[in-house]
Structure formats: C-alpha cells, structure tokens
C-alpha cells in the first residue's frame, strides 16, 4: 500500500515537471521565432537601404530593393540555421 502511494506521489511530481518543461519549450520556441523574425526584418531593411544607396535611385525602387534583400536575407538565415547559430523554426 505504501509503495502505491509513493508511485502516485512520484507520478504527480513527474507530471508537474513535464508541464514545466513543456512550458519552457514553448517559451523558447516563441523567443526563437522573435529572434529569427527580427533578424530577418532588420537585415532586409538594412540591405534595402544599402541597395538604394548603391543604386542612387528614388524610393519608388525601394520595393525592388526589398525583394532582392529579402531573398538574400532568407538565404543568410538558412545558412545560419545550418551552422546552428540560429535555431531552426519555420513561420
């Protein structure tokens, strides 16, 4: 009887630890997603501004510069994920 009570108590602790670890994992997934999004956005804007300065064009061509920088940024993020610098998360 005492062994059964110990098993019940231990299973309750394990469920509680499991719940805590799951919530930590979800928190890490959320933070990783924010890091990847901010990295993507800031790199895209930076590259867009650099392309505008190099090309000496008006802001009408900003969309084209952003498309090119978006492509380069996604390739950079994929490379960083393969090198295990950034976590692998998909949007």
DSSP string, 23-90: HHHHHHHHHHHHHHHHHHHHHHHHHHHHHHHHHT--GGGHHHHHHHHHHHHHHHHHHHHHTTSS----
The predicted structure's pLDDT at residue 10: 53
The predicted structure's pLDDT at residue 59: 66
Report yes or no on 91 lying in a domain.
Answer: no
Q: What is the DSSP letter of 22?
A: H
Verdict on whether the full-model pTM lies above 0.75: no
Domain housing 64: 2-82
Beta carbons within 8 Å of 51's beta carbon, 6+ residues apart: 65, 68, 69
The predicted structure's pLDDT at residue 13: 57
Report yes or no on 45 lying in a domain.
Answer: yes
The predicted structure's pLDDT at residue 75: 80
Number of domains in the chain: 1
Mean pLDDT by 10 residues, the chain (91 residues): 52 64 70 77 77 69 72 77 70 50
The predicted structure's pLDDT at residue 79: 79
Are residues 88 and 81 in contact, defined by beta-carbon separation less than 8 angstroms?
yes
Report yes or no on 90 lying in a domain.
Answer: no
Report yes or no on 67 lying in a domain.
Answer: yes
């Amino acid at each position: 009887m005492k062994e059964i009570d110990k098993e019940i108590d231990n299973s309750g602790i394990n469920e509680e630890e499991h719940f805590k670890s799951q919530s930590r994992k979800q928190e890490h997934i959320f933070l990783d997603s924010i890091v990847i999004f901010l990295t993507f956005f800031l790199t895209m804007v930076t590259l867009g501004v650099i392309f505008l300065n190099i090309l000496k064009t008006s802001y009408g061509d900003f969309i084209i510069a952003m498309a090119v920088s978006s492509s380069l940024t996604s390739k950079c993020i994929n490379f960083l994920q393969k090198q295990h610098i950034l976590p692998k998360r998909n949007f």
